Chains A and B, each alone.
Chain A
């Protein structure tokens, strides 16, 4: 009777191969970078994307106006901790104060000088988390032909479903000095006709396309 050693050998070889395979696989998993979700591209919906601005008039009332129909894109994975990146622009021609005459003044050379500097742009360069879906976004703001770094307080206000797919909303707050951007008329000359500090509230909504974390 011949002892049957072949079967245990096969079992041993199979087990060894399986163990080595498992070890390789687990090693590979440990070494490979953890996979992150691809960001969705959120194209702004001009109807629901506006920037409100507030400035003090004659040291008295706080005057509000808006830039309608903001354009641009936001890239975001839609994960609460991952910061979005912004590339947004507003046309000076879309300034709306509720007064045609004031709109014309704002577009004139004493303020935005729309003939030479027709757009305001913001491009984010980085962000730090400030809470759940809340970030302090750093970026370059180009206004009146001057580009300066600014920090914007941004919150993702919600993710919903619209007729065209996923809708994402953000609200961003920013306060700046217009004199930093070369817009000085009315601050000292004529004295205190208009304030230097401008508060901006930017409401963004867009349709998300792509991404892997939806």
Chain B
């Protein structure tokens, strides 16, 4: 299989396919299904891209699995795949939980956002990690998730696409083509889902606070922390965090401005 088809197009097709099935299918009036499938589609797109780019053993090496004839080293950036796997597992659970307990939705979303942010910051150790960098990592994930939670579906996906594409450019500039490829896959998936959402509007999907915001924010926060940890060259380190937080915040501001000025 052609390289770009394998690491970019295939993840986009699978990720946007899962989300499109919810957005266009018979259950499109159910917000929980859309939330579940969009969040899962984003996480699975990143995961497929990772596995196609780096190989499955890089992921399995981090799990309690016996690998035969595996003498390749564990590299810390391979934890990106583990984070994507965990997010893919958590996203349907979170979507179903918020749908089952609508009265506690806000509390569940805030708790999940903080748990995800603190969890990845504690679990994932990139080179040069310190207490300060871990705190920044958690804050970036939480802020990004929070900003995305304040957007509508299309704005959130658009912000995610722009943020990931920006980080892909940064990854190319700093000598990390694998990270660039994975970012492009997520950007393409988010963009494709946004286009589908524009084509067939879902009247029930007003907010993305929940699985989509947690998955998107945690993913961009983790990519930013990884990019910053491994970056070489002259790119300032704050660029990664600025893209991870700044773009979603700009998206949220844009969304709030346009929705408040639009007569309902």
Contacts and interface: CB of A to CB of B under 8 A. Distances in A.
Interface of A: 100-101, 104-110, 113-117, 144-146, 182, 184-185, 189-191
Interface in B56-76: 71-76
Contact of A109 (B7, B128, B178): B178
Contacts of A108: 174-176, 230, 232
Nearest to B172: A105
Contacts of A114: 232
B76 A116 contact: yes
A185 B232 CA distance: 18
A16 B233 CA distance: 85
27 contacts: A100-B233, A101-B175, A104-B175, A104-B233, A106-B175, A107-B175, A108-B175, A108-B230, A109-B77, A109-B176, A109-B230, A110-B175, A110-B176, A110-B178, A113-B75, A113-B77, A113-B230, A115-B127, A115-B229, A115-B230, A116-B127, A117-B73, A145-B73, A146-B73, A182-B72, A182-B73, A185-B178
Interface residues of B, number: 26
B177 interface: yes
A100 B235 CA distance: 13
A100 B53 CA distance: 25
Contacts of B229: 115
Given A116-B127, A185-B178, A107 B232 contact: yes
Contacts of B4: 190
Contacts of B75: 109, 113, 116, 145
B71 A146 contact: yes
Contacts of A191: 3
Contacts of B6: 189
Nearest to A188: B3
B3 A105 contact: no
Interface string B133-157: 0000000000000000000000000
B175 A189 contact: no
Given A116-B73, A116-B75, 5 more contacts: A113-B75, A145-B73, A145-B74, A182-B72, A184-B72
B231 to A, nearest CB: 9
Interface string B2-39: 01101100000000000000000000000000000000
Contacts of B232: 104-105, 107-108, 114
User: Which of A110, A113, A191 counts the most chain B CB atoms within 10 A?
Assistant: A110
B230 to A, nearest CB: 5
A114 B74 CA distance: 14
Contacts of A106: 175
Contacts of A100: 233
A10 to B, nearest CB: 79
B3 A189 contact: yes
Contact of A104 (B73, B128, B174): B174
Nearest to A93: B232
A145 B177 CA distance: 21
A145 B74 CA distance: 8
Instruction: Give the most central of B7, B77, B128, B232: most A CB within 10 Å.
Output: B232
A105 B233 CA distance: 9
A79 B174 CA distance: 49
A48 B71 CA distance: 34
A62 B52 CA distance: 28
A110 B178 CA distance: 7
Given A101-B233, A107-B232, A146 B72 contact: yes
A109 B178 CA distance: 8
A100 B75 CA distance: 24
